[in-house]
Amino acid sequence: MAISSGSTRAILFTSGLISLMTPFTDTIYLPCLSDVQNELNTTAQLVALTVSCYLAAVALGQFFWAYLSDNYGRLVTFYVAMFAYEGITIGCIFVKNIVQLSILRTLQGFLAGAFISTSQGIISDVYVDKERGTAMGVVFLFLLVGPIIAPLIGGYISAIWTFRATFTCLVFLGILVFMLTVIFVPETNANSSFIKPVTFPHGKDDNVVQKEPKEKKSLIVDIFLPLIFLFDVEILPYVLTTSLHFMCMFTSLVILPVYLALSPYNFDQGFIGLCFLPVGFAMLIGSLIGGILADKSAMKYPNCPEGRMFIPLYAQLLSGAGTIVFGYTLDISQKTLGLVLFCHAILGFGQSGGMPSTMSFLSILKRENAAGACAALTFLCFGFSSISISFSINLINQYSLTSFFVVLALMGLVVNVIALVICHRKYNSIKHVEVPCSEIVEIVNI
């Protein structure tokens, strides 16, 4: 069965909502960390650990869900994960201690890992190479809406009731996304074993969904195949750059509410939620611009697949600069909230500007394992963030907030510069290769 090009817009919108579930599940919880600490009678370190466990589980879950998505279909993967997610989230409402919450949040993170890999796999099935960067940018608009509305909602409802209300909100959101997926999203993976896939009017050359059957290996090898991509020198510099900047961003999202609840700010959960709006909007704008620039950059450098990374790599330098100044302004013992939030916005804009280009780059180079390749990136993003958050409180207490964020920023900036150098050398080595006339005509006609 073929599907009209107009229906792809509904698929794109719903795929964005699916990807929204993962960050929404985490960031809705951030403004009420102090409430969790007080109600469950625990420490700030153990509360931060629940966030870290969630991120680590998302990272590991990517491999399992990406394998199911690539080999058995996008929809069956989503349905299984969503049903289990709803049950675990209901359990989070009734936890009695921090141990129960940590276990359930870990399981919740593992299940939420399915939402990102599934949505990215759908996009790789539906959109051709020249459109994929923009499509990924649109999906990341939804992915990054989480840091805008989730903390705002979480802070407001937890201030009225308790942190448990945030999980009730997640249950209803999951039901809504599930219903929209059933209505608007068909099976797009030609390897689907349970649901008949549709085809898209891309033409013979693109051949997005008509893939050859894959050779089956052992289950363990297949599930952890994305790990191989992390050792691919063609993609490693760009994956590391994006994941390290993501680590800076997500660590800042966890540290910000902790400090705003202390002197000299002493904000409540509702106001803390409002403080996430600047970085959320900056990430939203950065993602859209980054996706568009990635496609334009790819057309400018048609012989170089890495060409779509040029402009976004420069944009990501803003993330490192914003991280350093954010840490310093939050560290000084004065009320500099406006400057803190401005620097936080710069951090978010730079980070989100590079994510769509990296995702589209991976899905093009590793077309047959699109979900798996994107899972490798997501694994590093959430894995690095989990490690950073696990040690953040102790390191900040031992040294300083400024020193901690300077180290994080330098890690990202050093790899960023190396990736830029590699990208330029790659282009210089092939820029004299003759471009086929058909490609030149196609680019001119776009």
- Residue 102: pLDDT band (50, 70, 90) is very high
- Position 367 scores a pLDDT of 65
Compute how many other C-beta atoms are within 10 angstroms of the C-beta atom of residue 433.
8
pLDDT digits (tens, 9 = 90+) for 392-439: 878 888 888 899 999 999 999 999 999 888 887 877 776 655 444 444
pLDDT: which is higher, 393 or 344? 344
317 pLDDT above the threshold of 60: yes
107 pLDDT above the threshold of 90: yes
- Position 444 scores a pLDDT of 37
212 pLDDT above the threshold of 70: no
Percent of the chain whose pLDDT exceeds 70: 82
- The residues that bridge with 199 in the sheet, in sequence order, are 2
Range among 30-39, 304-313, 437-446 rated most confident:
30-39
pLDDT: which is higher, 16 or 111? 111
**Domains along the chain with CATH numbers:** 7-193+223-440 (1.20.1250.20)
pLDDT: which is higher, 127 or 215? 127
Tokens of residue 191, six digits: 């390897």
> Which stretches does DSSP call E strand in 333-412?
none
pTM here is 0.76
The mean pLDDT value for 177-195 works out to: 81
Phi, psi of 199 (to 5 degrees): -120, 160
Closest listed residue to residue 208, CA positions, set 235, 193, 225, 188: 188
How far apart CA 190 and CA 188 sit, in angstroms, is 6
The type of residue at 172 is F
- Position 290 scores a pLDDT of 79
DSSP state of 199: B
Closest listed residue to residue 249, CA positions, set 212, 289, 280, 216: 280
